[in-house]
Amino acid sequence: MQQAIAILDSGVGGLTVVKEVMRQLPREKIIYFGDTARTPYGPRPSEEVKKFTEQMVDFLIQFDPKVIIIACNTATAAALDYISQKVSIPVIGVIHPGARAAISATATGHVGVIGTVGTIRSGAYTAALKQLSPYVDVVSHACPALVPLVEQGLFRSKTTSQVVEETLRPIQTYPIDCLILGCTHYPFLKETIQEVMGPAVKLISSADETARETSTILYNKGKLEAGDETPVHQLFCSGDPELFQRIAAQWLGEQIRQTPVVWQVTNLD
């Protein structure tokens, strides 16, 4: 029986990590949980986010996964250390991979970070960047208006452009050469964000980078799947399974042969 990669998120945002794991590690089976009934996590108190994250981990751990990815920046900031101590398998958050990629990508040392209120308030990106290099200069900005756009499936629209433009205005005055998309929902809006920021600013997707580091960690533990069996993925959410399925089908379209069934779990707590 193939051991899976478990991925959890506050909602559909973690599907950006799922898409990249499917692309970079097509042999691996994925089990996903999106807490769509309680999204967004960004404005919630840290203790509550920690509790919700633990409930998802308790659910996913039953499937005996080989690794858990906390594919939500808010949950990573609130619960990564706690969950890492609680379970005996590797737990990967999305903040450090994004920070490492930005350090690797920046030429000027001026790095921008956007994220939810919870992520930005935690200072976790700044700490991760400064832990790596004292020479990096970080400017961060909370963007609470962006997650709701994605959870409604509004990836490209006039409203989307307007909201993104208004939201990013404060960060445009800084001379950054790369911008960390410090929320796994943001890659859904990548084209619009790139248009607004201009071509000189390199966007770093913490989602893409986390998929890549998962590959690194599984390789170094000798845990990469070797077989040629097509993996059967499993998707779970706590809210409306039809909306979730529609977004999953639209976003994962190229990666999956058929729209996966989405199971709704309503008694997480």
Query: Is 158 among the residues that bind a copy of itself (CB under 8 A)?
Result: no
Site for a copy of itself in 243-262 (CB under 8 A): none
- How many other CB atoms sit within 10 Å of the CB of residue 210? 29
Query: Does the protein bind a copy of itself through residue 200 (CB under 8 A)?
Result: no
**Residues 59-118 interacting with a copy of itself (rule: CB under 8 A):** 90, 96-97, 100-101, 103-104
Give the helix ranges, DSSP H, for 87-189: 95-105, 117-122, 124-132, 146-151, 158-168
CA dist 154 → 35, 122, 195 (Å): 19, 27, 16
The encoded tokens of residue 225 equal: 């799947």
194 binds a copy of itself, rule: CB under 8 A: no
Q: How far is CA 139 from the centre of its chain?
A: 20
Is residue 2 at the binding interface for a copy of itself, with CB under 8 A as the rule?
Answer: no
224 — alpha (psi -120 to 50), left (phi > 0) or beta? beta
Mask: binding to a copy of itself, 108-147, rule CB under 8 A, as x and -?
A: -----------------------xxxxx------------
Q: By CB under 8 A, what part of segment 3-42 binds a copy of itself?
A: 20, 24-27
Our answer to whether residue 72 is catalytic in this structure is yes
Q: Which is nearer to a copy of itself, 2 or 133 (CB)?
A: 133
| Conformational region of residue 8, where left means phi above 0, alpha means psi within -120 to 50, and beta covers everything else | beta
Which one among 85, 199, 226, 269 touches a copy of itself, defined by CB under 8 A? 226
- Which pair of structure tokens corresponds to residue 14? 């973690």
Rg value, the chain, Cα = 17
Q: Which of 89, 117, 224, 243 binds a copy of itself (CB under 8 A)?
A: 224
Q: Report the catalytic residues.
A: 72, 183
| Contact footprint for a copy of itself (CB under 8 A) | 20, 24-27, 90, 96-97, 100-101, 103-104, 131-135, 208, 211-213, 215-217, 219-220, 224, 226, 228
